[in-house]
Structure 1
Amino acid sequence: MADPRVIIGPIDHREPSDTAMPLPLRRLHHVAVIASDYRRSLQFYTDVLGLTLRAEHYRADRQSYKADLALGDTYVVELFSFPSPPPRPSHPEAAGLRHLAFEVDNIDDAVRHLDRLGVPHEPVRTDEYTGRRFLFFTDPDRLPLELYEKD
């Protein structure tokens, strides 16, 4: 019997042709985020999320800062500033990127950390499919962020 939670049909698995080889992706390299207030967002991503600033450049020709931020040894976020960027769409179900998710060892510790720093967040919920706990909050420009508890 089909799983009633699955709402799409099976994927069409075609035989690969010589010209249709899969792209040999290795991993997600980074996500680029444009900040309306670069310094405020840089402080948020380093002080609240604990990312490490690997490199920072000012590009005079674009009047833009660029910061490379890492999580441990992995480069994950490229933070940009541009003059007067438009605000992001407010509805989270708009087409395109919905949110960024970060894995945490313990969601209760993460809640205490966010609360101690005064970062508003939604209540902790449980993923009905995995049984893992998670919560949502936003960066200074209202980009939705998720903390997802490790198995």
Structure 2
Amino acid sequence: MSLHIFSQVALTCKDPIATERFYTKNFGFKRARVTKVPDGEQIVAIKMLDSAFYFELFKAKEELPVILPINDGPEYPSVRHLAFKVDNVDAKLAEMGDDAKITLGPLNFDEYIPGWRTVWIYDPDGRIVEISQGFVDQDNPPPLETDLTGRKTQPIHFA
């Protein structure tokens, strides 16, 4: 059996409607489905326009057990941030207005990739969202078995 597409990320939200509004208004998502589950709750699926990618929005039932991440996201094992490419970071920030609660940047990374500019913001639930322009694939990335210096890396073992 083969993998067809990466299809969705499930987000647990303090206020799923506020989260839905943020992503539909600022990143081109639209409501695709609402599913009622046996406990009476609803799962809202929002789809990124012109793609097959969804966010599933679940209502949070607990408080956040850690402090909100800062800068470009947590440094412990986790999802560090969600990311979207745009044509112009500054224009996107201006378009978002008060929805753009900046945690870091905007920063230019021309020394790594010419034209790469990035900013990180909070979504309504405190998740870090990266907005970047100019990021391109590396022509010849090193194989998985080596780090960026070409040295062999040790495999990760989970207990």
TM-score for both structures, normalised by structure 2: 0.68
Answer yes or no: is 1:120 the counterpart of 2:98: no
- Residue 79 of structure 2 corresponds to 97
**Structure 2: gaps spanning 5 or more residues:** 136-159
Equivalent AA in structure 1 for residue 64 of structure 2: P
Equivalent AA in structure 2 for residue 54 of structure 1: A
**TM superposition outliers: structure 1 runs of 4+ over 3 Å:** 23-27
The residue matched to 2:76 in structure 1 has which SS? coil
CA displacement 1:91-146 (0-9 Å, x = unmatched) = 4112111111011121121111122x443213311234223111100111101101
Quick one: percent identity of the two aligned structures? 24
For 2:120 and 2:27, the matched residues in 1 are separated by 13
Equivalent AA in structure 2 for residue 141 of structure 1: D
For 1:43 and 1:88, the matched residues in 2 are separated by 25
Cα gap change, 1:98 to 1:126, in 2 (>3 Å): same
Answer yes or no: is 1:68 the counterpart of 2:45: yes
Answer yes or no: is 1:130 the counterpart of 2:113: yes
Answer yes or no: is 1:56 the counterpart of 2:40: no
Equivalent AA in structure 1 for residue 49 of structure 2: G
1:52 Cα offset (Å): 1.1
Cα gap change, 1:123 to 1:114, in 2 (>3 Å): farther
- Residue 79 of structure 1 corresponds to 57
- The one of 11, 18, 27 equivalent to 1:33 is 11
Residues 87 and 141, structure 1, Cα contact 8 Å, conserved in 2: no
- Residue 47 of structure 1 corresponds to 25
Residues 114 and 120, structure 1, Cα contact 8 Å, conserved in 2: no
The residue matched to 1:95 in structure 2 has which SS? coil
The residue matched to 1:62 in structure 2 has which SS? coil
1:35 Cα offset (Å): 0.3
Q: In angstroms, what is the RMSD of aligned CA positions?
A: 2.2
TM-score for both structures, normalised by structure 1: 0.71
Answer yes or no: is 1:143 the counterpart of 2:127: yes
Cα gap change, 1:114 to 1:103, in 2 (>3 Å): same
Q: How many pairs align? A: 126
Equivalent AA in structure 2 for residue 85 of structure 1: E
